[in-house]
Chain A
């Protein structure tokens, strides 16, 4: 990497930290300014006596200025103290810890499906001739209009009622059983993104196939498979990678829908339940977590692109 690229990445890292800081402020203040007195929620259903209100306000530092409360919250989060759930009265960390594994597994499963079928079908569409291209085009046109909840109900009907090959509810015990249970949720999550990735991949490859450097390689007499790997795919990869990063990051938020539809007890369904019950500490932490993952993933992809193709940093900058 050139010094220029390193400077660009340092600037990127600074921007990332600033974005995270501002996002955490936005999330905290949005919730802090929420209509309704948090004391009512904290009292947990009982009509609070003045003494109880006093005790709750003191315990949660509600009489401090709001920026002090923000600093205390962020400081706590950085040290692993994620606060206490209004609804369960347990530490938020204890709610998240047992659920995060299954969510990661679900997202990873969907990412594998998207990579294999999305990028795979995109490559096929680009190289296999017009009939394959047309078939993939029709498939992806329908795919991009198939959101997770629609695929989910089709799968639940087909597999739950008609075929019965895969379970349509719950998570199971042990890794293999987990994967078995997560198959349909992962497919429901992946379909729209497979179609999207397929289109991006095809477009990136077709653009490279007609590039001058590929013609040059052909004239030099290189074998078609070598041309494809070294010249077409390698040069198309930054664009494919850029979209993959944003896609995976978005996937984490949408996984809540798949979890809810198939009764998977992950952090997505925890977030939905917490929002429905106004469990603000849980919603705050999970939003911050999802935003952090989203921002960091996008930054990691930018770095990966800069390593594969250092020129792209410069050219994208000037574009």
Chain B
């Protein structure tokens, strides 16, 4: 067992046992697994072609043939919701992945080098922090045109500062610990210390932040699509579907908006519950 492993302590078995006695966490995890499966297999699970128009059933109420009803063009809402899971989940996953990788790189570099690198990095982070994510996303759409690419790139940048602040603080604390000095004395290289000891120690906090970030990113991207700036009709993206179903709310066919909206809320709820537990676990591990 290396010095690093000793310092970090073993995997907390009590945390795993607690999870088994936490029905809310189990339910949230099941919801997330279901959403991931739908996102991967969505179009295969759909009973109808999500883009097929059924002229005989325009804005039809839920029935056995169409359990979630049909939309204003006669498309099956259930099939569209299932097919829409993939773009609705892929966007936030990309945002979290890119902002986490960039954020961790900047944070570790500024904690490691300190001085001017740290100064420039924190000024950069301050400036990005001053531009709300939604504004940056709208700005990106104005520049590069409507679609999911521009908002995803913009939000990846907008979500970076919070990762940098969190990881930088954690990295500085970790680098101050005696075992890092011991590793250096042993002649372990900088990169090896970063990748084999520092990053694994920070991983719980990074994962907790990524989980919470996914929820926010999902809401932001859905908002952009709802505004008509993200995914474009006739795409079966959840945000687009909510906006598309808005007129039908007043004519008595609320399912068209409500089903995709409910899925977004359910996903974010589940992510928040898992995120809160991961945060508690990361904090417990820190002590």
Q: Which residues of A contact B (CB under 8 A)?
A: 15, 18-20, 22-23, 26-27, 30-31, 34-35, 141-142, 144-150, 153-154, 156-157, 160-161, 168, 249-250, 252-254, 256-257, 260-261, 271-272, 274-276, 278-280, 283, 287, 290-291, 294-295
Decide: A153 near B272, CB < 8 A? Known: A19-B130, A30-B139, A261-B246: no
Complex Cα distance A284/B132, Å?
A: 14
Q: Which residues of B contact A (CB under 8 A)?
A: 123, 126-127, 130-135, 138-139, 141-146, 215, 219, 222-223, 226-229, 239, 242-243, 245-246, 249-252, 254, 257-258, 261, 264-265, 268-269, 272-273
A157 B249 Cβ-Cβ under 8 A: yes
The closest CB in chain B to the CB of A149 belongs to B226
A250 B132 Cβ-Cβ under 8 A: yes
Q: Is the interface of B mostly helix, strand, loop or mixed?
A: helix
CB distance from A205 to the nearest CB of B (A): 20
Residues of chain B contacted by A249 (CB below 8 angstroms): 132
The closest CB in chain B to the CB of A25 belongs to B127
Number of A-B contacts (CB under 8 A): 139
A287 B264 Cβ-Cβ under 8 A: no
Residues of chain B contacted by A279 (CB below 8 angstroms): 142
Complex Cα distance A22/B222, Å?
A: 29
CB distance from B197 to the nearest CB of A (A): 25
Q: Point out the residue from A150, A157, A253, A260 that lies within 8 Å of B135, measured CB to CB.
A: A253
CB distance from B168 to the nearest CB of A (A): 14
CB distance from B63 to the nearest CB of A (A): 20
Known: A149-B261, A272-B229, A295-B130. 12 other contacts (CB 8 A): A23-B127, A30-B139, A31-B142, A34-B142, A144-B272, A147-B222, A149-B226, A256-B227, A275-B139, A275-B141, A276-B146, A294-B131
Q: Point out the residue from A15, A142, A256 that lies within 8 Å of B138, measured CB to CB.
A: A256
Q: Point out the residue from B146, B222, B269 that lies within 8 Å of A142, measured CB to CB.
A: B269
B261 A283 Cβ-Cβ under 8 A: no
The closest CB in chain B to the CB of A289 belongs to B135
B261 A150 Cβ-Cβ under 8 A: yes
B269 A156 Cβ-Cβ under 8 A: no
The closest CB in chain B to the CB of A319 belongs to B169
Complex Cα distance A260/B223, Å?
A: 11
A283 B138 Cβ-Cβ under 8 A: yes
A271 B272 Cβ-Cβ under 8 A: no
Residues of chain B contacted by A15 (CB below 8 angstroms): 126
The closest CB in chain A to the CB of B150 belongs to A275
Could you show 8 A-B contacts with beta carbons less than 8 Å apart?
A19-B127, A22-B123, A160-B249, A161-B249, A168-B250, A271-B138, A279-B142, A291-B135
